[in-house]
Structure 1
Amino acid sequence: MTKVVNYITESFEELKTNVTWLPWAEVQRLTIIVAVFTIVFSLAVWGVDEFFTTVIAGFFNFIKG
């Protein structure tokens, strides 16, 4: 158990001393960029899905009729 506690303690120390953290304003800006890109990408995927749903439904209706 002491190995686990030692590992966690050393990990936190590493994060505090050796990691270069971005300024808070930069983190906020990049978070907004990622959120906007995620929304745009998900809308694009939804649009392609709707398009292919319509095309495939039309194809099967054409075959049935």
Structure 2
Amino acid sequence: MIEYIKESFEELKNNVSWPSWSQGQSLTVLVALFSIIFSLAIWGVDTVFARVVETYFNWIK
């Protein structure tokens, strides 16, 4: 287990190409905006679906 952790840190140090600070910031903003837009889309679909189900159950009373 300890050997695995050592190899993992070695892999991160030597073989992973990390983005620059400005790239990291712009990608973070992009992910945040996408998350907000996606959550609003899910909320909209959920609201419409809830109203359709409510209308259906009111109709069959």
TM-score tier by shorter-chain length is 0.7 to 0.9
**Offset of residue 6 of structure 1:** 2.2
Code of the aligned partner of 2:40: L
Among 28, 31, 35, which residue is 2:28 paired with? 31
Which segments of 5 or more consecutive residues in structure 2 lack a partner in the other structure? none
Among 48, 52, 55, which residue is 1:55 paired with? 52
Which segments of 5 or more consecutive residues in structure 1 lack a partner in the other structure? none
**Offset of residue 7 of structure 1:** 2.1
| Identical pairs, percent | 56
Cα distance in 1 for residues equivalent to 2:16 and 2:46: 42
Based on CA coordinates, which of the two structures has the bigger radius of gyration? 1
Among 41, 50, 53, which residue is 1:44 paired with? 41
**Offset of residue 34 of structure 1:** 0.7
Cα distance in 2 for residues equivalent to 1:42 and 1:63: 32
Q: How many aligned residue pairs are there?
A: 61
TM-score by length of 2: 0.87
RMSD across aligned C-alpha pairs, in angstroms? Answer: 1.1
TM-score by length of 1: 0.82
**Offset of residue 17 of structure 1:** 1.3
